[in-house]
Structure 1
Amino acid sequence: MGKRLLPPDNGGGDHIEPVDLKKALEERYLAYALSTIMHRALPDVRDGLKPVHRRIMHAMRLLRLNPDQGFAKCARIVGEVMGKFHPHGDQSIYDALVRLAQDFSMRYPLVDGQGNFGNIDGDNAAAMRYTEARMTDVATDLLAGITEDAVDYRPTYNEEDEEPVVLPGAFPNLLANGSSGIAVGMATSIPPHNAAELCDAALHLIEHRDAPVAKLMDFVQGPDFPTGGIIVDSRASILEAYETGRGGFRVRSKWNQEDQGRGTWSIVVTEIPYGVQKARLIEKIAELLMARKLPLLEDIRDESAEDIRVVLVPKSRSVDPGILMESLFKLTELESRFPLNMNVLSRGKVPNVLSLKGVLQEWLDHRRDVLIRRSKFRLGEIERRLEILAGYLIAYLNIDEVIRIIREEDEPKQVMMARWSLTDTQAEAILNMRLRALRKLEEFEIRKEFDGLTAEKKQIEALLASDAKQWSTIKWEVTQVRDKFGPETELGKRRTQFADAPEHDLTDIAHAMIEREPVTVVVSEKGWLRAMKGHLADFSTLTFKEGDSLKLAFHAQTTDKVLVFTTGGKFYTIGADRLPGGRGHGEPIRIIVDMDNDQDIVTAFVHDPKRKLLLASFDANGFIVPEEEVVANTRKGKQVMNVKAPDEAKRCVPVTGDHLAIVGENRKMLVFALSEIPEMGRGKGVRLQKYKDGGLLDLKPFTLETGLSWQDSADRTFTRSREELAEWIGARASAGRMVPKGFPRTGKFG
C-alpha cells in the first residue's frame, strides 16, 4: 500500500474531554509541591544530602574518583550525573558540584577540586571543561559500605539503571555541612557545625538515650562556620533554637586593632560572616562612605590574598574603635543573621522540623540500620563461601576419584553430586577449580580459611542478636570519625568563636552613623520644618510660603535630637539629620510625625537630657518634668501633659533659678518659689495662678537674688530686685497683683 496523502478519519469525534479546572490545578500543584519537597529542596536527615548531591557522589564513586586516584574533568562527571541519574540542566548540576568543593561554603568539602572553583568575593568557577574533581575522605565516609547492601536502591528516571535512595552516611553530614533550600510552603536552613563536637554529642546520646538538648549543648556549643566569625547570641537563645529547631544566630566579623605608629591605628577584619560575599560587602561600605553615613570612617581597603584582610581607616585617632565597629555592624553585613530552620526529611519520607537531639537520634538509628544490613550481607557471603570450602575439602579427600569422574563420566557434575551429596554450587566450584590448586598446601589453607570464616560468622550472629553489641560497634565507628576530624586536625579545629556583644551607649552608636554638621532649624507659624546648613546669624533673610512667617529658629548639630512640644501636651522627637534640607520651605511637621490636625507647635528646641522642663497650660496648670523622660521613640510621640479642650498646652521652658514669675491675660503677675511645683513624668499638673476669666499669658523662671528682668518693645531691659518684687511674691495658685510699671504692653517677658 502506498503512502497516505489524507489524514486518517477520526470518526467525527473531536476527543475533547471536559476537566474540572480547580481539581486539575489542585492535583498538578500538589504533585509539583511534593516533587519539590521530596526530590529537590529538602535534605534527608540520614545523610544530609539532597538528591542532586547524592547523585553526584554516587556517579563519582562509579567513576572511581577516590581520594587516592587521579582527577577527572568536571564535564565528565556532570555528563555522567545528567545522563544516568539527574535529568536536569547541566549548569545546575555543575553549580551543585562546585559548591561541594568550596572550602568557604562547605565546612567539610565533599569534592576535592582542581582548578578555579570560585572564591569568597562571589566570582564564578571556571567552565566545567577546565576544572577537575575527585572525592574527599568525607565523601568516602558517606559512601562507606554502599556495595554491601547497606541501603535501598531505586530505578533511575529512565529505569535503565539504579541509584541509592540514601547514602550509608558514616559522617554526621546534615549538621556538619549544613543545608539550605526553599521548597513549596516550607524551607530549610541549617548552619554548619563541628564534626568532632557532633560525634561527642552522638556518643553521649548512645549512652543516655533520654539526654536533654541542654546536655548535648555541653558538646555542641553552636554552629562552626567555614569562614569563622564570632557568634554573639546568649547560650539561652542558642539552646531554645536547638530545642525547637527554629531560631537564628547573629554572626559578627572578627576584627582587631593594628597600631600604625605615632598614635594612629587601623582596624583589620580577618573573618567575615558565613555566606557574605566579600566584594559586595566592601562595595556596600564604600557606598555608605560616599553617602556620608559613616562619619567615623575615613577609608576602606581590601588587602586580602589567600586570607581575608580588610583594612578600615578611622577619621581620626580619637575615634573609639568599638563605636566605629558597632556602627558598621548595624549598617553593613559585617554582622549578619543566619537563620536556623531544621526542616528535613525525617526517615527520608516526612518533612519535619527536628531538634538537635532529633537529628542526631535519626542519624544514629540510620547507622544502626546500615550496620545490621551490612552484617546480614556479610553473613550471606560467608555462608556461600563456607559452602564452597566444604565442597573443596570433600574434593581433596577424594582427589583421585574426582579426577577419574571428570575424565571418564559424560555428566561428571551429576555423578559427583550423587556420590558425595554435594550441592550444585559445590559441584560447579570443584569443576571450575584450577589444576595448580591441587597442591598439598592448599588443603591446609582451605581449613584455615574455613575456621576463620566460621569464627567471623559466630561474631556476626552474636552482633545481630544483641542490641548492646550493635550500639557498641556504632560507638566505635563514631569514635573513628571523631578521631579523624578531631580538634587537633587542621580541618577539625573550631573556627567560629563565641562572645557577648559589647555594651555601648546607643546614643553614641546613633551619633556614629551621622555626619556631625552645624545646621539651623527653622520652624514656621504654620508648622513647616527645615534645617538650613550652617549656623545662620540673621534670620530676617528666611523666606516662607505666602501667609506664613517665622515662629522660631535655633542652632543645632546634625547629631542632635530636636524636641517639638505641641498644644495637645505631646512631645515629638526628630533627629536633626532627618529634617528636610533648606531648599524650598521644608515640610509640614505632620508629614514627619503623626500629629493631630487640631494641634499646633508650642515650641521646639535641641534635646539636653540633663535639663528639667516646666510645662504650663492655658488654664495655668503646670508641673516640672526631667527632659530625658519626654523623648519619644516613635512617630506617634509621647503624651506628657494631659489637657482637655478647650484647655491646651501653652508654655515649655527650661527650669533655671529658684522662683517663677507668671502673668495672666488679666495682666496680673504672681511670683512664687519653684519648689512649690511638683516634678512628674506625666500628668495634668497643679494650679500655678488663679484667674476669674482668661488664662496664662507668659511665665519666666529666675533667681530671686539677681532679680526679675524683662525687655520692652524698644529692647530696653528692666530689672526688679527682690525688695521691689515683695508685693508680688505670694503662694502658688493665688491671683497675684497688677504688673509693675514699665512692664511691656504685650504682657510678655520678652
Structure 2
Amino acid sequence: MSDTTIDGVPGDDSIIEEHIDTALSSRYLAYALSTITQRALPDVRDGLKPVHRRILYAMRMLKLNPENAHKKCARIVGDVMGQYHPHGDASIYDALVKLSQSFSARYPLVDGQGNFGNIDGDSAAAMRYTEAKMTAAGVALLAGIDEDAVDFIATYNEEDEEPVVLPGGFPNLLANGSQGIAVGMATSIPPHNVAEICDAALHLIKTPSARIETLMNYIQGPDFPTGGIITEPRENMLEAYKTGKGGFKVRARWHKEDLPRGLYQIVVTEIPYQVQKSRLIEKLAELIETKKVPWLEDIRDEFAEDIRIILEPKSKNIEPDLLMESLFKLSELESRVSLNMNVLDATRTPRVMDLREVIQAFLDHRREVLQRRSRQRLGKIEDRMEVLDGYMIAFLNLDEVIRIIRFEDEPKMELIKTFKLTERQADAILNMRLRALNKLQEIEIKSEFDTLAAEKADIEALLGSDMKQWASIADELKAVKNDYNAKSDIGKRRSTFADQPDIEIDLATAFITKEPITVVLSEKGWIRALKGRVDDVDSIKFKEGDAPAFIVPAETTDKIILFATNGKFYTIGADKLPGGRGNGEPIRLMIDLEDDHVPLGLFVHDEARELLIASTEGYGFRVAEADIIASTRGGKQTLNVKGDAEAARCIAVKGDKVAAIGENRKILVFDVEELPVMSRGKGVRIQKYKDGGLADVTTFAAEDGLSFVDNSGRTNSVPEWTTLEGKRAAAGRMAPRGFSRIGRFVPDNRLT
C-alpha cells in the first residue's frame, strides 16, 4: 500500500485490488488457523487450551495455592483478561467455572467457593459473588514453571510473558478430557482414571513398543465424573483407542426398590456424562404425557446432594429390566460419548493420535521438562559452587585478603590477579560480611560445597543416562498415582463396565398383556377381536346380510397382516382392534383401503415365513414376510398391478412345487425355485393364457402330492400330477377329471 496522500486522504494507489475468492480464502484460512491453535484444540502435553492455561497461570501469579485463601473470581477473570487473554470476561469465567465443576471435570483444577452451577444445567452465580483457588491437580500442572521447564512468549500487548505450555506434572489430557469445535475439525476426549493412566504410562516406560491391547489392560476405558455404566463392547473400545476415533455407550445406574403390597419403584442414582438432569426429567415427563411410554406412571426428582430420580411403573407385573430397556431406547438415560483425539502435538500441529501416542507425548514432555529443570538447577549449582570456591580461597588466605582490601587502591583487580579469581568470586569476597569470617562459617561453606558437588554429580549422571531419566519420571508417576489411588474418594473408579443386556425389545408390543383372541373380518369389511379361541364359528353373529370372510386365531401381541386386491399389505396391531361386543368397526377406518378394492387375505405376521403373491394376469413372485410390514395406514405396495389387473392370491410357501390353474382350467406345475424372491414389483409370468387369467395358485411338497379341497370341504388328491409338470410360464395341461368345478385348489382366500 502506498503512503501517497492528498490533504491527509489516501490516494488512489493506496487501494489494493484483489480477487474476492483470494481475499476471502486467505483471511478465512488465518481465522481458521487461529481458531484451531488458539481456541478449540488442547495441547497434547498439558491437555489445556490457551484460556485454561492462562487462567491457571494467572491464579499462580495471584498465589492462589490450595493452602491459601480463596479470592474473588472477578479478580482472577480481570487479571486473565487484562494481562493474557484479550477476550470477553464471560467466556473466561465460563471456562473457570467448568474447571471447578465436579460433574464436568473428573479431577477439578479449580476449587470453587460459592454457587458454581449444578448438574441440572443452572448457571453459576456472577463472578463478583464467587471465589476460587487452585486444587492440587492444578498446582501439579504448574510445578517447575519457574525452573526454565517451558518456553515463554510475549503476551498479546507485549507487556508481560506467558508460558507456551505448562510443565504438566498431572496427566490432564486423558484425566479430564477435552471438548472443542474448530473450523473443519473438532476434538472430543472423555475423562479417564488417573491411577490407570499412570499404570499405562509406567508400562510404556518399561516397554516403549507396547501394543494398545496391552495398554488397555491398564486403561479399561473412560471414567466419567458422573459415573454411569459403560456398555460398549471391548473390541469397539480397542478399535477407538487404536484409531483415535470412536465412541462409548453409557447408561444410567439404577436399582429396584421394593414397596408394600408387591409394588416397586426404580431409583436412578447416576446419569450419563454431560446430560443435564432437569432436561432428562423433562423429556421423560413429556414421554409420559404423550403416552409414548404408557407403561410408566410417574417420575419424581428427589435430588438433594446425590442424584435420586424415581420412576414409578403403572403395574407391578411389568419387568423392571424390560421397562428400563425401553427407557434407554427413548431417552438420554442412555447416551453415546464420542472419542476424537484430535490434539495439537509438540510442534503445535493438529492431528488425531491413538492412545499410545497420547501417553508417549505426555512422557516425552515430562522428560523434556526434567532435562530443562535439571540443566537450570545444574547452572545454579555451578554458580553457587563458583562463589563457594572463592570463599574457600578467601578463608585459606584470609590475612592476605584483608591486606589487599585495606591497602590496595583496586582491591577487586588485585584479588583476581593474586588468587586467579573470577569477577563473581571477587565480588562475593568483597561483599562478605565480617561476621562470616568465623571458623563455623568456614565449616558450613565446606559442607555446602560438598553437598552441592554431590548434587551436581547426580544431575550430571541423570542428564547422561536415559535410564535414570525414565526412572525419575517413573517415580513422579508413582507419586501421582499414590495421590489418586483407587482407595481414595477422588481416585476410585466411578464408571463401571457391563455387557449390553441380551434383551430384544419391541416397544410396540413389549408391555401389552399377551392374551389369546380371535380376529374376525366380515365380507362387508367389519373387523373385531373376540376374546379367547372361538371354535364354534357358527356362534359368531353378524349384521343382517353380512357373513364371515376371515376368522384368524391370534394373540394380543401379534401383528395382523391384511393383503388387498390393490397389491398392498396393511399392518394392524392386534391390541388396537375393537373388542368383540357388537359388530366391530369398518376396516377402512383403520387403514386407507380404496373403495374399489377388497381384502384378499388376513393372517398373523410370521417374520420367518415366505409368501407367494400373484395377480389375475398370471404374474407373481415370492416375498419374505419380514419385508411386508407397513409403517403407515397407507400400507406397503408390494405387488404392482395396473389397469384391470388385480392381486389374486397370497399364500404361504410350503414345499418345493408350485401349481397354478387358469380360468381356462389348465394346470401347470413347476419348481418353487423358478419363482424369484423380490421385495416389490410386477413379478414374473407364472402361467401363460390365450384367454382369461389366473384362477388359483398353491404350493405343495412333491412327496405329498398335489391335492385340492372340494365344495364339501373334502380333500382330494390329483392323480398322476407329475404329468402336469413343466417350466414356469408354460400354458399347462387340462385339469384331470374330478378336479374342482370352480377351478380352485382351496375354496376360500385364507392363508394356506
> Same fold by TM-score, threshold 0.5 exceeded?
yes
Distance change >3 Å, CA 27–CA 736, structure 1 → 2 = same
Is 2:100 aligned against 1:101? yes
Which residue in 2 is equivalent to 1:56? 55
Deviations 1:717-740 (A, max 9, x none): xx7264xx8799995875267998
Deviations 1:196-241 (A, max 9, x none): 1111111111111111111111111111111111111111110000
- Residue segments in structure 1 that go unaligned for 5+ positions in a row: 1-6, 541-550, 591-597, 702-706, 710-718
Which residue in 1 is equivalent to 2:466? 467
Distance 1:553 1:264 in 2: 39
Report if aligned partners of 1:151, 1:166 keep a CA contact under 8 Å in 2.
yes
Distance 1:749 1:638 in 2: 20
Which residue in 1 is equivalent to 2:344? 345
Report if aligned partners of 2:371, 2:463 keep a CA contact under 8 Å in 1.
yes
1:376, distance to aligned residue in structure 2 (A) = 0.3
Distance 2:634 2:587 in 1: 27
Which residue in 2 is equivalent to 1:720? 712
Spell out the pairing of 1:5-84 with structure 2 (5 A cutoff): 9-10=7-8, 13-14=11-12, 16-20=14-18, 21-84=20-83
Distance 2:57 2:298 in 1: 49
Deviations 1:403-422 (A, max 9, x none): 44444445433333333222
Distance 2:10 2:445 in 1: 79
Which residue in 2 is equivalent to 1:204? 203
Distance 2:713 2:331 in 1: 60
Deviations 1:295-327 (A, max 9, x none): 221111111211111111111011111111111
The alignment partner of 2:129 has SS state of coil
Letter of the structure 1 residue corresponding to residue 693 of structure 2: G
Report if aligned partners of 2:560, 2:604 keep a CA contact under 8 Å in 1.
yes
Distance 1:52 1:82 in 2: 10
1:436, distance to aligned residue in structure 2 (A) = 3.0
Distance 2:632 2:41 in 1: 41
Distance 2:357 2:80 in 1: 32
Letter of the structure 2 residue corresponding to residue 103 of structure 1: S
Report if aligned partners of 2:39, 2:51 keep a CA contact under 8 Å in 1.
yes
Report if aligned partners of 2:70, 2:131 keep a CA contact under 8 Å in 1.
yes
Report if aligned partners of 2:592, 2:635 keep a CA contact under 8 Å in 1.
no
Which residue in 1 is equivalent to 2:605? 607
Which residue in 2 is equivalent to 1:134? 133
Which residue in 2 is equivalent to 1:497? 496
Which residue in 2 is equivalent to 1:415? 414
The alignment partner of 1:148 has SS state of coil
Moved more, 226-235 or 433-442: 433-442
Which residue in 2 is equivalent to 1:176? 175
Distance change >3 Å, CA 523–CA 10, structure 1 → 2 = farther
Letter of the structure 2 residue corresponding to residue 695 of structure 1: G
Distance 2:52 2:692 in 1: 84
Which residue in 1 is equivalent to 2:320? 321
Which residue in 2 is equivalent to 1:195? 194
Report if aligned partners of 1:630, 1:638 keep a CA contact under 8 Å in 2.
yes
Distance change >3 Å, CA 175–CA 688, structure 1 → 2 = closer
What's the TM-score, normalizing by structure 2?
A: 0.81
Letter of the structure 1 residue corresponding to residue 561 of structure 2: L
Distance 2:104 2:130 in 1: 18
Report if aligned partners of 2:188, 2:339 keep a CA contact under 8 Å in 1.
yes
Which residue in 2 is equivalent to 1:735? 735
Spell out the pairing of 1:621-632 with structure 2 (5 A cutoff): 631=629
Report if aligned partners of 1:669, 1:739 keep a CA contact under 8 Å in 2.
no
Distance 2:443 2:561 in 1: 102
Which residue in 2 is equivalent to 1:425? 424
Distance change >3 Å, CA 316–CA 393, structure 1 → 2 = same
Report if aligned partners of 1:530, 1:587 keep a CA contact under 8 Å in 2.
no
1:633, distance to aligned residue in structure 2 (A) = 8.9
Letter of the structure 1 residue corresponding to residue 117 of structure 2: G
Distance 1:84 1:390 in 2: 43
Which residue in 1 is equivalent to 2:729? none
Which residue in 2 is equivalent to 1:449? 448
Deviations 1:107-127 (A, max 9, x none): 111001111111111111111
1:280, distance to aligned residue in structure 2 (A) = 0.4
Moved more, 390-399 or 115-124: 390-399
Letter of the structure 2 residue corresponding to residue 310 of structure 1: I
1:485, distance to aligned residue in structure 2 (A) = 1.1
Report if aligned partners of 1:191, 1:223 keep a CA contact under 8 Å in 2.
yes
Report if aligned partners of 1:294, 1:513 keep a CA contact under 8 Å in 2.
no
Which residue in 1 is equivalent to 2:216? 217
Distance 2:310 2:698 in 1: 55
Spell out the pairing of 1:237-276 with structure 2 (5 A cutoff): 237-276=236-275
Distance change >3 Å, CA 15–CA 194, structure 1 → 2 = same
Deviations 1:513-563 (A, max 9, x none): 899999x999999xxx9999999x9999xxxxxxxxxx9999999975453
Spell out the pairing of 1:362-401 with structure 2 (5 A cutoff): 362-401=361-400
Distance 2:33 2:683 in 1: 66
Letter of the structure 1 residue corresponding to residue 342 of structure 2: N
Which residue in 2 is equivalent to 1:543? none
Deviations 1:388-429 (A, max 9, x none): 111112222333444444444454333333332222212222
Aligned length: 704
1:626, distance to aligned residue in structure 2 (A) = 8.2
The alignment partner of 1:489 has SS state of coil
Distance 2:741 2:236 in 1: 71
Distance change >3 Å, CA 28–CA 630, structure 1 → 2 = closer
Is 2:166 aligned against 1:167? yes
Spell out the pairing of 1:284-683 with structure 2 (5 A cutoff): 284-507=283-506, 509-512=507-510, 561-563=559-561, 565=563, 603=601, 607=605, 615-618=613-616, 631=629, 649-652=647-650, 665=663, 682=677
Report if aligned partners of 2:620, 2:686 keep a CA contact under 8 Å in 1.
yes
- Residue segments in structure 2 that go unaligned for 5+ positions in a row: 532-540, 578-584, 700-707, 725-731
1:643, distance to aligned residue in structure 2 (A) = 9.7
1:140, distance to aligned residue in structure 2 (A) = 1.3
The alignment partner of 1:506 has SS state of coil
Q: What is the aligned-residue identity percentage?
A: 57
Distance change >3 Å, CA 605–CA 15, structure 1 → 2 = farther
Distance 1:584 1:634 in 2: 13
Which residue in 2 is equivalent to 1:595? none
The alignment partner of 1:312 has SS state of strand
The alignment partner of 2:227 has SS state of coil
Deviations 1:145-185 (A, max 9, x none): 11100000000000000000000111111111100100111
1:570, distance to aligned residue in structure 2 (A) = 7.0
1:644, distance to aligned residue in structure 2 (A) = 12
Distance 1:450 1:531 in 2: 105
Distance change >3 Å, CA 217–CA 741, structure 1 → 2 = closer
Distance 1:141 1:371 in 2: 14
Distance 2:520 2:156 in 1: 72
Distance 1:182 1:210 in 2: 32
Deviations 1:122-153 (A, max 9, x none): 11111111111111111111111111000000
The alignment partner of 1:249 has SS state of strand
The alignment partner of 1:146 has SS state of coil
Distance 2:738 2:99 in 1: 90
Letter of the structure 2 residue corresponding to residue 118 of structure 1: G
Distance change >3 Å, CA 563–CA 483, structure 1 → 2 = same
Distance change >3 Å, CA 691–CA 343, structure 1 → 2 = closer
Deviations 1:424-482 (A, max 9, x none): 21222223223332332110000000000011111111111111111111111111111
Moved more, 97-106 or 408-417: 408-417
Report if aligned partners of 1:533, 1:582 keep a CA contact under 8 Å in 2.
no
Which residue in 2 is equivalent to 1:714? none
1:505, distance to aligned residue in structure 2 (A) = 2.2
Letter of the structure 2 residue corresponding to residue 720 of structure 1: S
Distance change >3 Å, CA 217–CA 11, structure 1 → 2 = closer
Letter of the structure 2 residue corresponding to residue 650 of structure 1: A
Report if aligned partners of 2:662, 2:696 keep a CA contact under 8 Å in 1.
yes
Distance 2:261 2:9 in 1: 99
